[in-house]
Copies of this chain bind each other. A is one copy, B any other.
Amino acid sequence: MTAYTATVTVRLKRGVLDPEAETTKRALDRLGFELDALRSTDRYEIDLDAADADDAAERAGEMAERLLANPTIHDYDVEVEQAE
């Protein structure tokens, strides 16, 4: 078994309203910053032991499906790196 860090990025699907990001963007506008758009995403860095990188990615993907992402409104992707 090897130690890996799987990073799961969860973002809203295109077209799903993101009031938190809208509010953040408006606050930045009000502070005088110029920006065209702002999107927010959640990232989970998961340390786990796995036989290989594919196994780690598969398990992190299952965690996303079961708990971290809501498939109705979220897309997610998984990246795996061997832990130092």
Contacts and interface: CB of A to CB of B under 8 A. Distances in A.
A54 to B, nearest CB: 16
- Can you tell how many copies of this chain the complex includes? 2
Interface range, A side:
20 to 34
A18 to B, nearest CB: 11
Contacts of A68: 24
A58 B38 CA distance: 16
A71 B49 CA distance: 33
B33 A39 contact: no
A47 interface: yes
7 pairs of A and B residues whose beta carbons are closest in the complex = A36-B47, A37-B47, A39-B45, A35-B48, A41-B43, A38-B46, A35-B46
